[in-house]
Structure 1
Amino acid sequence: MKDTTPLDQGWSLHHEGNRLPATVPGCVHTDLLDAGLIPDPFLDANELEVAWVGRRDWTYTLELPAHGSRHERTDLVFDGLDTAATVTLGGTELGSTRNMHRRYRFDATGLDGELKVAFTSAYTEAERVRTLVGDRPNVYPEPFQYIRKMASSFGWDWGPTLPSAGIWKPARLEHWSTARIAEVRPLVTVDGSTGLVELHVTVERTATGTGRPLTLRASVAGALAEAVLDGDTAVLTLEAADVALWWPRGYGEQPRYDLGLTLADGDDLLDTWQRRIGFRTVELHRTPDATGTPFTLAVNGEALFVRGANWIPDDTLITRVTPARYRHRLQQAADANIDLIRVWGGGIYEQEPFYEACDELGLLVWQDFLFACSAYPEEQPLRGEIEAEARDNVVRLMPHPSLVLWNGNNENLWGFRDWGWEEELKGDAAGADSWGEGYYLGVLPRIVAELDPTRPYAAGSPWSGSWDHHPNDTDHGTHHSWEVWNRQDFAEYRASVPRFVAEFGWQAPPAHATLRRALPTEDLAADSPGMLHHQKAEDGNGKLNRGVERHFELPTGPGAFDRWHYLTQLVQARAIATGIEHWRSHWPHCAGTVVWQINDCWPVSSWAAVDGDGRLKPLHHELRRLYADRLLTLQPADRDGAPRIALVNQGAETWTTALRLRRLDADGRVIAETTAELTAAPRSVHQLPVPDGLLPADGSGKEYLVADADGLRAVHFPVPDKVFAYPAPEFDLAVEEAGDGAHDVVVTARTLVRDLLLQPDRIDPAATADRGLTTLLPGERTTIRVHGVTGTPTAEQVRAAVFCVEPS
């Protein structure tokens, strides 16, 4: 049987002639932090103070004693090296690497002594490749498209510039004889209630194992298969009767089954392989219809409106992301009623615990291949690396039932057409036909079709499906909506109905306690030095301020920052609500939204719903409402100009409800009211026009509309907040013990109180609240449960953490 020796202890990092203790898996930055040699790059402007780290070469060493293995072969295995490295053992060079996204295996039989992994600076390697292949367009001034490394480690419009180096995944010695299992590709499908597994197996043999008949045995859900292997490859087929289907969350359960494989030489067990799989089908409907080209995912034959979010690396120093942290962050996504996570192409193929958590939680995974926002050369040495990387990761990830889509790139096809690349590349003979298209429309779909035909492939996001249409055409395929936020008010989301919105978003700063930790000595202001350093978007604060100014007066004077902080977070939540409510009301023409983004990689002003310290922004609570099975929305105008009410029912049961519709004035007086019994069929949208006499007059600054149904509420104000005649908000507040250390904050409104928000971290940095923005009419009451407060907060402490819309 194969023996494995983990190599996770005793490593050293060599720094300016000094030998430092090193952690494996880990990276240079975390080792230097542990040694106290650099400041925390996430605090203040320390990122700039540690820029030198990414431009140095680094060496890791480990003394390997003679192992005396009884086996014929010893392999040195690295699951991930970041990035350009030379590996030597006992003075013998085993090989070199230039791709952090691949696994590496070196024959180390008979070798011992000093194991050395010498890393070249990522900048040095990238510049070397750029010299070989020539320059290409790039949206950022960093050379990330010339090296197969996490692009966002070189900085992004939400992330710091901290390219690291290190042995970022586990390392080990594997000792084996005769043969080992080298690769397993399970093609998992289902026919009715019968689960089908076609297991493609490749073995590697030693010289003495060549030609020997070996036995492969596989099992899953009571089904067995066996094959005698004379060569190096075999296919085993298993048919498992009466399996339960794996469903995305909200559509059913997520049963999984152990799929096991053994390799034996007679009675001698040589190697084993095991994964947990789920039985389900996935389709991507892209047949043109009367209005364009749909992009509709279907699982087990059920067409979905995707309720998604984009995922970036959860920490720029990615080795700090533990299985528990993956699970917690993905549970936060599930708690927001998200059912799909898009792993964005400027990050990494995430580690196994990420996909295992998605399998368990029923979170569908859209996996980008790792290309983002740049023209990528198609020459060697990159081309061979990219093919090897794609093959490695397709095989690694395909057992996961949560994985439902392979996507070729992020925004590169769009960039070629709209960002000046086409003309720039025409002027460069070397790059005219070498910018990435050959990967997205050639290499990658060929690899997916060969290795994983059970899943659909899309060439890019956005992508209309063909050069016959603009890459970001709203009527064809996937669409990225960035004119809103960059240039337009969020009301402009209602101007179009894309077939699938794969990116859209609005910025806001992180929670107050997160800012205080990241900027511990700063007098916080919207434009204070630390706030600006932790704002990486081009004109980010200008866009934040313009977004606020379209609806509110920008705060000035005492308390201006706290008020600005609240308003920017409020506008973020309202912006995303405007888009999702509009697009969900147009199902099935629009088949999904994937908000940018669920998480952050450090403390920063960004589009995230969960900030860099893991605290929930108001947007997270709003997503929970927006992505619930049942959504009530008031749409002020559709494409025909008629205001309407929409009941969106994504549940499996019919929704019958009593709708109450009220037209009120600013002081809470009911001007007109009606009720109606409404029914929305399963997985459908029921719409009706706002009845005559209920809609506030156009331009009225004194009237608004409220719809209530089954505890859901929608409001419509016909004018921006800054011209509405809000009364000064008045409410009573009480704090009550709720048991188990929790407290209930009870708020009773005496006037209209719009978008009330308790920021629990202002009471205690560890505190959380169970709800976000809430609008109360006069006389209404709400209870906010707060966990994590040390001691009992006073009403005064709580009131200082409560905000709402105020008159201008």
Structure 2
Amino acid sequence: MERVTLLIIVLYSLPLQIHTEQISLDETTGDGTWTVVNENGTYTAAATVPGGIYTDLSVAGILTQDIYYRFNDIEYRWVSKENWTYSRTFEVPESLLKKQQIFLVFYGVDTIASVYLNDQHIGDCENMFVRYAFPIKSFIQAGTNELQVKIQSPITAAQERFDKQAVEYIVPPTCLPDEYHGECHVNFLRKMQASFAWDWGPAFPSVGIWKSVVLEGFDTAVLREVITQTVESEYLWLVTVNIFLETESQMLTVSGNFSASIILQTSQISVTRNETLMPHSPGFFNTTLVLNIPKSQIQVWWPNGYGDQKLYSLEVVFSDEHNSKNTKTLKVGFRSIQLVQEPVEVGTVLTFYFKVNNVPIFAKGSNWIPSHVLPEKSAEPKRIEHLLESARIANMNMLRVWGGGLYESDLFYQLADEKGLLIWQDFMFACSMYPTDDNFLQSVSTEVTQQVRRLQHHPSIAIWAGNNENEAALRDNWYGTSNEFDLYKQDYVTLYVDIIRRNTMLLETVRPFVVSSPSNGLQSEDNGYIAKNPYDTRYGDVHYYMYIMNAWNPNLFSNTRFCSEYGYQSMPSFSSFEEISIPSDWSINSDFCNNRQHHPSGYNEIKYEINLNLEMPNNLTERQQFTAFIYFSQINQAMSYKTETEFYRRSRNLLTSDGEGLTMGALYWQLNDIWQAPSWASIEYSGKWKMIHYFAKDFFAPVLVSPFVTSDGVLEVHLISDKLEDLESQLTIFVYQWNSLTPIHSITSNHTVYNASVTKAFQSDLLEFLQTAGCGDAEPIKKCFLYFTLTSLDGSDISPHNFLFSQSLKDLTDFTAPTISVADISLASGTENVFQNTTGD
């Protein structure tokens, strides 16, 4: 019954080189080439393209403060309620006008817009994830041309579409929770769903031309995309290169020369064919070339921690009968991937794990949300590089691009390729039911086709998922759909199976596809795509949140196959708050902090979780209470993630009597922040690591010594390894009292750390162990803590050091607060991260 999906070679694309004529209509300086004006002419500003309205109005001084300052998510909402027109004039050379075909191409318009050239309507845009190419040969003219893009308020557009649909039946949710301070009906627009607010982010319903605009002049066709599928044989990689062309819809044939070549270690392999093509739909043509690549000349691509990320250059060229040349240069990574869902020993339940190059991979990582609420700022290179490098440094090998945000920039996937970060790619549907009228489905079909063609080339893309949490939402009646369950189920299947999955698999049969996350995988499919319990821990992936239990106690968690979301909130650092607030805001009871907390009961949950293990200090000023709460929330978050993640990693080889366990994935929610507010993130909006990210570097380490105490009071120490070879090691357990940095007892033993496995290295009754160690006969667990090292036999560390608190910290006895003094610390000369004591103390 094993059903697996195989991918051998994938590519990422560099900028398209078109040797026909191409003219950019971008303007990145904001010097007035583009202008933007609201409908009644009240506000006019110079505009930047690619860009967006909030950025343009800020640069123009119309918005006078940082959009994230205090209550500006509310104060600046008027911007999103206006209709805006972007316009510019441009001239074109005679050489462009002589071309047989001229396209005006928008790579991204946000979102509902009508486009006019020289006062003639040339087309409409309604999906920010779609590239629009309008033929303008009959509209463009010598001399000056005027281009206008009239964009409707997204708030108005969403409401109009909801009202029209409601005549037939409601497509919920009717709005967001009040705590989100957001807007309604974003599920009716194909735009970033989180732009109308989320429980970790503000509402800035964006408007703008957020990607490039170009004029394309050509005589035959434009080379748009290249995708590949590959089959591995004993000696060869058989690489199928699919080439996609676009031209004017009346073109009946396209003739030309097609070639593909790949540069290997010591040679270049090429194939060339002259061909006349017929359209597969009006204006669209494709052909296929096949390359035979000797395996002896290939070094495979590996995820972070398993090997190198070797990439090769591949060039695809289309030369038409007019000697115009289109070239696309790609980077090639050879690797296989499987999603293995097969029966286990207990019952009829299924595994759920990834194999890369035939090696089972424990997926370690996090979830990615957009790096900025404004789409035009979501691909800032410095921010993307920092976040992805932070993930790599923290020993992550997978990130899940969450379905309420964006299909990320080419740079994002290129860096993921280079850093070995596998990408779980959601399609952009989250936490809603969605309409299924013909226009919506056609728009989604185009979106899926274009995005799969764009992203399929990347070795980092590991899996497609149709949506975020919508299977669970429908089954568990999140939005009151139970009375019309069959109706909404049919809509669900139509959208995610008949449209999204079908269009994806038509282009790409080699990667796995799951209809939802979480889901029961194949079991959900067998249940008609809506499982009876989408959170069944014996199948597929789960999202797990529980805010009313002690997350420092590993015995309270459930074993699962793959946990693709889990987490706990914390506050960002005080310096992050300080940038966008005033002193009267620095209390969790302030209006400002209440506005920033979008998760219902969020502060009460954080307080409850802190109080289970920590005791907040008394007799503090209000500001001291605020900073202490920030600090304690980050301690609680870090310890909770540590406990839960180590639990999942220890469960890799575990199979319980009821079929739970065999855990092979832990992706915590979430990696990054979109603004300065309470959230589940491990990296703040400023880029600063929270405490939890430092912890993540350790609990995701390739080799980990992991202690815990069972519900029966037994101390167990497990050795976890993702390595592909056995290691000989020495485990040392130190016992410390709280009043000294010198251990009172230690015990050492030698062990083999088995490859890709979990080994129980030690167990003992905790009370007896601590009493023997000298912690006293009365309540020893309150007097001592444990510290663990795992070294090679020559004494070098092969695992991060670990620790174990055997008792809630607030219940400690014989604990005296330390006296700490801080000397002047400064950055050492000529270094970026080395600090020195400058006082000599």
Which TM-score tier does this pair reach, normalised by the shorter chain? 0.7 to 0.9
1:64 aligned residue: 90
Deviation (angstroms), 1:608? 0.6
Q: Which moved more, 1:503-512 or 1:733-742?
A: 733-742
Separation in 2, partners of 1:164, 1:480: 29
2:647 aligned residue: 582
2:288 aligned residue: 235
Tell me how large the CA RMSD over aligned residues is.
2.5
1:121 aligns with 2:153: yes
2:185 to 108, 129, 143: 143
1:755 aligned residue: none
Q: Is the 8 A contact 2:67 2:76 kept in 1?
A: yes
Q: Which moved more, 1:240-249 or 1:375-384?
A: 375-384
1:396 aligned residue: 454
1:780 aligned residue: none
Deviation (angstroms), 1:488? 5.7
Letter in 1 for 2:628: R
2:412 aligned residue: 354
Separation in 1, partners of 2:816, 2:211: 58
1:401-457: CA deviation from partner (whole Å, max 9, x where unpaired): 111110111111011122444x5353489x544542332333222222211112110
Separation in 2, partners of 1:644, 1:275: 50
Deviation (angstroms), 1:700? 3.3
1:385 aligned residue: 443
2:563 aligned residue: 501
Tell me: CA distance 1:637–1:374, structure 2 relative to 1, closer, same or farther (3 Å): same
1:273 aligned residue: 328
1:515-547: CA deviation from partner (whole Å, max 9, x where unpaired): 111214445223233222222211111111111
Separation in 1, partners of 2:250, 2:431: 50
1:70-107: CA deviation from partner (whole Å, max 9, x where unpaired): 31111000110000000110111111111111111000
1:84 to 94, 106, 112: 112
Separation in 1, partners of 2:67, 2:838: 34
Deviation (angstroms), 1:304? 0.4
Letter in 2 for 1:237: V
Q: Is the 8 A contact 2:88 2:146 kept in 1?
A: yes
Q: Is the 8 A contact 2:550 2:612 kept in 1?
A: no
Q: Is the 8 A contact 2:723 2:756 kept in 1?
A: yes
2:678 aligned residue: 605
Tell me: CA distance 1:523–1:270, structure 2 relative to 1, closer, same or farther (3 Å): closer
Tell me: CA distance 1:384–1:735, structure 2 relative to 1, closer, same or farther (3 Å): same
Letter in 1 for 2:710: A
- Give runs of aligned pairs for residues 211-290 of structure 1, distance below 5 A: 211=253, 213-221=255-263, 222-231=268-277, 232-241=285-294, 242-265=297-320, 268-290=323-345
Separation in 1, partners of 2:491, 2:582: 44
Q: Is the 8 A contact 1:79 1:102 kept in 2?
A: yes
1:341-369: CA deviation from partner (whole Å, max 9, x where unpaired): 11000001011010011011111111001
2:206 to 143, 164, 167: 164
2:694 to 606, 621, 637: 621
Tell me: CA distance 1:49–1:212, structure 2 relative to 1, closer, same or farther (3 Å): closer
2:8 aligned residue: none
Q: Which moved more, 1:364-373 or 1:648-657?
A: 648-657
- Give runs of aligned pairs for residues 219-618 of structure 1, distance below 5 A: 219-221=261-263, 222-231=268-277, 232-241=285-294, 242-265=297-320, 268-291=323-346, 292-320=349-377, 321-421=379-479, 424-427=481-484, 431-465=487-521, 466=524, 467=527, 469-482=532-545, 484-485=546-547, 489-491=551-553, 494-522=556-584, 524-556=586-618, 557-558=620-621, 559-588=624-653, 589-618=662-691
Q: Which moved more, 1:365-374 or 1:723-732?
A: 723-732
1:24 aligned residue: 49
1:691-714: CA deviation from partner (whole Å, max 9, x where unpaired): 353256888322333322235333
Letter in 2 for 1:626: F
2:72 to 39, 46, 59: 46
Deviation (angstroms), 1:554? 2.8
Letter in 1 for 2:159: E
Question: Secondary structure in 2 aligned to 1:404?
Answer: strand
Separation in 2, partners of 1:343, 1:208: 38
Tell me: CA distance 1:178–1:671, structure 2 relative to 1, closer, same or farther (3 Å): closer
Q: Is the 8 A contact 1:307 1:594 kept in 2?
A: yes
1:758 aligned residue: none
Deviation (angstroms), 1:260? 1.2
Letter in 2 for 1:656: E
Q: Which moved more, 1:192-201 or 1:459-468?
A: 192-201
Letter in 2 for 1:234: T
Deviation (angstroms), 1:195? 3.3
**TM-score of the aligned structures, taking structure 2 as reference length:** 0.84
Separation in 2, partners of 1:299, 1:149: 33
Separation in 1, partners of 2:555, 2:476: 20
Separation in 2, partners of 1:233, 1:101: 22
Aligned residues: 748
Letter in 1 for 2:147: L
1:86-134: CA deviation from partner (whole Å, max 9, x where unpaired): 0110111111111111111000114142101000111222122212323
Deviation (angstroms), 1:202? 3.0
Letter in 2 for 1:131: D
Question: Secondary structure in 1 aligned to 2:817?
Answer: coil
Separation in 2, partners of 1:486, 1:121: 41
Separation in 2, partners of 1:62, 1:591: 53
Separation in 2, partners of 1:374, 1:490: 33
Tell me: CA distance 1:434–1:84, structure 2 relative to 1, closer, same or farther (3 Å): farther
Separation in 1, partners of 2:425, 2:249: 39
Separation in 1, partners of 2:417, 2:339: 20
**TM-score of the aligned structures, taking structure 1 as reference length:** 0.88
Q: Is the 8 A contact 2:548 2:609 kept in 1?
A: no
Separation in 1, partners of 2:231, 2:406: 27
Letter in 2 for 1:100: M
Deviation (angstroms), 1:389? 0.8
| Unmatched segments (≥5 aa) in structure 2 | 1-18, 28-32, 178-183, 278-284, 654-661, 772-776, 792-796
Q: Which moved more, 1:403-412 or 1:697-706?
A: 697-706
Q: Is the 8 A contact 2:339 2:353 kept in 1?
A: yes
Tell me: CA distance 1:493–1:344, structure 2 relative to 1, closer, same or farther (3 Å): farther
2:729 to 642, 657, 677: 657
Separation in 2, partners of 1:119, 1:485: 42
Deviation (angstroms), 1:206? 5.9
Tell me: CA distance 1:120–1:87, structure 2 relative to 1, closer, same or farther (3 Å): same
Separation in 1, partners of 2:165, 2:198: 24
Tell me: CA distance 1:494–1:191, structure 2 relative to 1, closer, same or farther (3 Å): farther
Question: Secondary structure in 2 aligned to 1:550?
Answer: helix
| Unmatched segments (≥5 aa) in structure 1 | 743-767, 770-784, 797-808
Deviation (angstroms), 1:377? 2.0
Q: Is the 8 A contact 1:377 1:436 kept in 2?
A: no
1:175 to 203, 207, 217: 217
The answer to which structure, 1 or 2, has the higher relative contact order (CA under 8 A, 6+ apart) is 2
Separation in 1, partners of 2:748, 2:36: 71
2:717 to 645, 670, 673: 645
1:559-591: CA deviation from partner (whole Å, max 9, x where unpaired): 322222211111110000001111101114100
